[in-house]
Structure 1
């Protein structure tokens, strides 16, 4: 460590920032989010939603997520969501003095989140062994495309590659069409949620079981593979590789997207026989529900052409409002296929406050997704939206014991 960076240890007891979270089950925990773009930052976002003091550490050039996607007045809109409940600091810890500052932050941290390629932190002298020598209680989440070890560990990877390799794209799309990738960061989101779960498990082991810090090796590939159903088991036991079925299910029918006569669309799922029977009665074909094969979901799936024709014709002759009302009254499972604007005006979404309005310091009132789940005793909350680059440098580094003159010099030199 460079002796030129002056750290005053007594400053760590200073007053908390007004932007730290004051409630939630993770209140009192400090998370250093050194990830960028999506998966690792989503994991940290979830911890911040439930009370952790999350410090977003960016290179002085900024996280690329700040400029990804739609923007307004130069402010990235996805950034406002993914960086909510995070204080923001800039730090180039590939430099010697940057590493000194990072080590100072690590001493007071509970969790460190990163998604550098395997070996990068080690090359900077910041591998897990070094971090644990500084803070043995530290939980380290390492997010990569393919994991820390293996033939593909050093490959550059984004969620798209995981969506391709996992089998997701192979199973998605029309039966006669090409494999289809999702239009959003599905693998990143699944990995982010998984990472937050892994961190809380590690914290429980540390704090409730008398354990110590540990390293979590999380790939983008494995969580997505894990939620894709029994594909490996089916292939192992039956030699079948699940393929594309459009909006149908290979396991039951009717299950599809159907168009109404006013060009609105609805989705129907009849996984249980009782729901399937109600659908057929509603569309005027109760005799089909009395066929011996109808009680078996797999047999219904084999007759999807017939069932889709009967259900689809009935829906195609009616308006969206009529179809939804009829299915709802009959106790048959149906949901509108919304675009985001339609979703945001739905009465259930409004009642549940699934979309909330937050006050943003740059854009004023903005709307975004609410926290993912509700807890009766220790609820989470969105306290503030994504902040400006390095906005909390003074507060955070002062808390870590850095004096004002040193901060000014480090800023001039591009370390922060």
Structure 2
């Protein structure tokens, strides 16, 4: 089956999360991703989080479908090989600090002159321009500057971070969008590539919905609101009789009326002041109290049964054990059974987005360090003796 990105070659010069996650998504839809890693150590992600036989199990997900080439980008010979690889690539992805690639002779101007068709994604904390461009910026800093951290947690308490590196992942998604747009433009405009500048903080800020318009018009500074959704009601987490929480979104007008009937409050369903969202927001504490009083009388399972029957959006809070055993995840192929290099069974996330005619696939396991170095360099014309000499000098 033909895949959407068949024939597209991606040179991944990044490490850890943002750049590699972007290239992982491209690889799942057919792109040939050549991942460049430092000799000896490899991508630091190989040692992040929980390790099996010395390698992170995260690596099995983040680097599937890729080819690994070891190359010292600080060495002139390594830089020359990287330029040769870029000359044959459609896309280069990097997430070093701004200026790092320029110092290695691998900046945008150099690579664009070498390969005018090239599309280059550059991910950094603050972008390639501006007064903060040279500051170090990881995902958590981007999440804070982008406005997300201020809104996370309970009112009056220390802001908390989201439990995953959401800033890096959002930057990767914006980067993939940019790459696909640039490739489309290249097809339309006679083969001209372009550079895509993605900042972590901007990727987070782009998710902040009405935050800025509300401030500019009303001077309102949105604050953390715990489990509720400010300005939209009712939408909250409600404790059930068994101590578990039900997430209930009764904020649609007709949904709200059905919810009030389920919790046996027809008086609230008929109240004209609650017919639309603005009136419900003004009475949110009264509504939350009524819903909470009802959920406290029932187990979580009973609450969800009643609400699902009435077509009211509701659910429980999943942990990973819930995810791994959930039949809907399985039915949607969002949990894939695979194996690590030593045959150990491992479950990995499925492929998104879901295309019905040309779906993404997992074609190969995450590579061992430098697994494809000889294969890729031989394709550039470097013979056995040349590769042996480079290996002896630590370049590969």
Q: What TM bracket, shorter-length normalisation?
A: over 0.9
2:378 aligned partner: 398
Partner Cα separation in structure 1 for residue 327 and residue 303 of structure 2: 18
Partner Cα separation in structure 2 for residue 115 and residue 203 of structure 1: 19
Unaligned runs of at least 5 residues, structure 1: 1-21
Partner Cα separation in structure 1 for residue 342 and residue 185 of structure 2: 40
1:3 aligned partner: none
CA contact (8 A) 2:5 2:26 kept: yes
Match of 1:57 among 23, 36, 40: 36
Please report how far the alpha carbon of residue 372 of structure 1 lies from its aligned counterpart in structure 2 after TM superposition.
1.4
CA contact (8 A) 2:352 2:360 kept: no
2:7 aligned partner: 28
Query: Structure 2 length normalisation: TM-score?
Result: 0.97
Partner SS for 2:182: helix
Partner SS for 2:386: helix
CA contact (8 A) 1:359 1:384 kept: no
Partner Cα separation in structure 1 for residue 239 and residue 34 of structure 2: 47
1:233-272 to structure 2, matched below 5 A, reads 233-272=213-252
The higher relative CO (CA closer than 8 Å, separation ≥ 6) is in 1
2:269 aligned partner: 289
Tell me whether 1:161 sits opposite 2:147 in the alignment. no
1:82 aligned partner: 62
Partner Cα separation in structure 2 for residue 121 and residue 346 of structure 1: 45
Deviations 1:5-35 (A, max 9, x none): xxxxxxxxxxxxxxxxx84200111001111
Moved more, 340-349 or 156-165: 340-349
Partner Cα separation in structure 1 for residue 289 and residue 146 of structure 2: 33
Match of 2:352 among 366, 372, 389: 372
CA contact (8 A) 1:23 1:50 kept: no
Partner Cα separation in structure 1 for residue 364 and residue 239 of structure 2: 40
Unaligned runs of at least 5 residues, structure 2: none
1:4 aligned partner: none
Partner SS for 1:287: helix
Partner SS for 2:33: strand
Partner SS for 2:74: coil
CA contact (8 A) 2:246 2:315 kept: yes
Partner SS for 2:179: helix
CA contact (8 A) 2:13 2:36 kept: yes
Moved more, 276-285 or 295-304: 295-304
Q: Give the number of equivalent residue pairs.
A: 395
Deviations 1:240-290 (A, max 9, x none): 111111111222222111222223322111221111111111011111111
Match of 1:309 among 289, 293, 299: 289
Tell me whether 1:145 sits opposite 2:125 in the alignment. yes
Partner SS for 1:358: strand
1:106-121 to structure 2, matched below 5 A, reads 106-121=86-101
Deviations 1:333-365 (A, max 9, x none): 101111011112112111111111123323433
Partner Cα separation in structure 2 for residue 295 and residue 210 of structure 1: 55
CA contact (8 A) 2:147 2:204 kept: no
Match of 1:210 among 179, 182, 190: 190
Partner Cα separation in structure 1 for residue 282 and residue 156 of structure 2: 17
Root mean square deviation of aligned Cα: 1.3
Tell me whether 1:354 sits opposite 2:334 in the alignment. yes
Distance change in 2, residues 1:393/1:23 (3 Å): farther
